[in-house]
Structure 1
């Protein structure tokens, strides 16, 4: 009996050459040759999602893997109709909600931003919540209008120093606020 090639078929990945974006798939009792996986690839941008054995794929004319489909073992990420969501196998998430104009990055471990030039953040309000903050720079400049910096309840602008009895000003006096 001759097999008629369908225009579109669904299969399951049984082998993967991740470094070449090629897979073999199982379709209704038969194994395909190595098939290329459709990816975003041109000189402007290259995006690669590595295939996984067991993922269900859509195959065009027995020659090209068009992409994966959600199934019982690979469910859709929880989202709403205004969110674009990417969830990685370790739980890391990138979400953009076009209704609230909110971009959320959720990294389970480290989040690194690297550049050879500069990083600029422009916003109305910024909050950093951390158990420790470390800033290393050869020069640090803080500008804040008429504001103040308060550390452990001590004002940088309005703090005073008590004079000790051994200095030439005499004992018991306090210095004025910072100038």
Structure 2
């Protein structure tokens, strides 16, 4: 007797296979249709309670495959916006793309980790908002005019004193103050000597 396509609910999972309850019948462990070939492989975890179709092979459900999955009361569609594809995970992470606004949105309540040999970002504008930002690199280059709104502090490794080097002219609106402590006194020097205690009553220094 040839069996027909049936709707059922996954009742047991074993790795990449599952059993499906169809009324009073429970199938053998069947393969679940996923994306798998030489180009790419993907895996979406199979869950008990997932409503699926069982496609019989050679007329037998127990030799068939599982085609997943159907929306149900416990797992309804996130929305039905015809211009947007969305994937919502159980922990609240969402990835969506809207073709009307051409906007890709990744929303995560926790971490996003990206690992790559090289990362290239090209954009008209880039905006970063964070409570704290850390960039760790042996060498950092800023190519272009740079505006810093706030203070600059330097430090060496393990909290030792750092240095700040400028190759070019420095224009300052305000004062230059050097400080020190019992172990280190601040001073100002040029190529002709110490300027820390030099006064010239407004006249050019010889």
2:150 aligns with 151
Structure 1 residues 85 and 172, CA gap change in structure 2 (3 angstroms): farther
Aligned pairs (5 A) from 1:86-101: 86-101=87-102
CA distance in 2, matches of 1:107, 1:123: 22
Aligned twin of 2:127: 127
Match of 2:44 in 1: 49
1:92-128 alpha-carbon deviations (Å, 9 max, x no partner): 111111111111111121001111x111111011111
Aligned length: 164
Matching of residue 17 in structure 1 with residue 14 in structure 2 = yes
Residue 141 in structure 1 maps to residue 141 in structure 2: yes
Pick which of 32-41 and 160-169 moved more. Answer: 160-169
Gaps of 5+ in 1: 174-179
CA distance in 2: counterparts of 1:172 and 1:93, whole angstroms: 67
User: Is 1:39 the equivalent of 2:25?
Assistant: no
Alignment check: 8 A CA contact 1:16 1:22 kept: yes
Specify whether residues 79 and 133 from structure 1 end up closer, same or farther in structure 2 by C-alpha distance, changes over 3 A only.
Answer: farther
TM-score (norm: length of structure 2): 0.71
- The answer for unaligned runs of 5 or more in structure 2 is 153-165, 179-186, 188-194
CA distance in 2, matches of 1:172, 1:101: 65
TM-score normalised over the length of structure 1? 0.81
* 8 Å Cα contact 1:40-1:46 kept in structure 2: yes
Residue number among 22, 37, 41 corresponding to 1:27 in the alignment: 22
- Which residue of 2 is the match for residue 5 of structure 1? 3
**Partner SS for 2:127:** coil
The RMSD of aligned alpha carbons is 2.6
Q: Distance in 2 between matches of 1:129 and 1:64?
A: 47
Q: Secondary structure at the match of 1:150?
A: coil
Equivalent pair of 1:57/1:69 in contact (CA under 8 Å): yes
1:148, distance to aligned residue in structure 2 (A): 2.9
Question: Do residues 64 (structure 1) and 65 (structure 2) align?
Answer: yes
Tell me the alpha carbon deviations over residues 63-119 of structure 1, each in whole angstroms, 9 at most, x when there is no partner.
Answer: 11011100001111135111111111111111111111111111121001111x111
